[in-house]
């Protein structure tokens, strides 16, 4: 993403219940991408970046106005759970997501870039791949095809742009019991 689009931009994290790797099966990751596309269409959102890991999802979303984004996030969670339950009728709806979600308003282009880079590097941080480009469940490949990133982006280590995001996460985790 080379430009900051009009609207309100958020960095959002959805976590699986008790951080269990409930999203590990590729079919569930694909199901979540479908729910994300439906949410995007339903609410007129733009998705700046996303990554689906085994136990959580990060995304940058741009709402067309300064509207409440809880509606789209609740819709996404419910849409996914509905598809998940339809896939196996023995599943319990209350057993997938942690209550609520974490969000942060991104107020400028620098913060947006830091969080987009963080999202794209996260699979490497979690040891799921050696090169961010190789991770299938991320928007990075699309951004490479669009010319926003080179295919070998961050192969030499974490980009400097994410150091601020990592430091912020460390401060929050020290404060959280």
Residues 6-27 pLDDT 10s: 578 999 999 999 999 999 999 9
Locate the domains of the chain by residue range: 8-175
Three-state DSSP state, 93: helix
pLDDT at 22: 93
pLDDT at 2: 34
**What CA–CA distance (Å, rounded) separates 106 from 9?**
5
Closest CA to 53 of 121, 155, 152, 141: 121
- Which residues of the chain are modeled with pLDDT < 70? 1-6, 66-67, 91-94, 169-177
Q: What is the pTM of this model?
A: 0.88
Other Cβ atoms within 10 Å of 152 Cβ, number: 11
Query: Could you read off the pLDDT of 91-106 as tens digits, one per residue?
Result: 665 679 998 899 999 9
Determine the distance from the C-alpha atom of residue 78 to the mean position of all C-alpha atoms in its chain, rounded to a whole number.
16
Query: Residue 17 forms beta bridges with which residues?
Result: none
**What CA–CA distance (Å, rounded) separates 72 from 36?**
9
pLDDT at 169: 64
pLDDT at 7: 77
Burial class (CB within 10 angstroms; exposed 0-12, middle 13-18, buried 19+) of 29: middle
pLDDT at 85: 87
Burial class (CB within 10 angstroms; exposed 0-12, middle 13-18, buried 19+) of 112: buried
Domain 8-175 belongs in CATH node 3.30.70.1290: yes
């Amino acid at each position: 993403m080379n430009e900051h689009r009009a609207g309100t931009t958020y960095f959002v994290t959805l976590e699986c219940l008790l951080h269990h790797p409930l999203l590990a099966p590729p079919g569930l990751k694909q199901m979540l991408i479908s729910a994300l596309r439906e949410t995007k269409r339903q609410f007129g959102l733009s998705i700046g970046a996303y990554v689906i890991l085994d136990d959580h999802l990060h995304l940058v979303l741009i709402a067309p106005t300064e509207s409440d984004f809880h509606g789209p996030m609740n819709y996404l969670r419910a849409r996914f759970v509905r598809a998940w339950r339809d896939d196996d009728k023995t599943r319990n709806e209350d057993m997938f997501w942690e209550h609520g979600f974490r969000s942060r308003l991104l107020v400028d282009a620098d913060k947006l870039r830091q969080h987009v880079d963080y999202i794209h590097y996260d699979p490497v941080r979690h040891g799921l791949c050696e090169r961010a480009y190789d991770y299938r469940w991320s928007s990075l490949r699309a951004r490479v095809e669009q010319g926003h990133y080179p295919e070998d982006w961050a192969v030499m280590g974490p980009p400097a742009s994410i150091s601020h995001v990592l430091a912020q996460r460390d401060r929050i985790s020290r404060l959280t019991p």
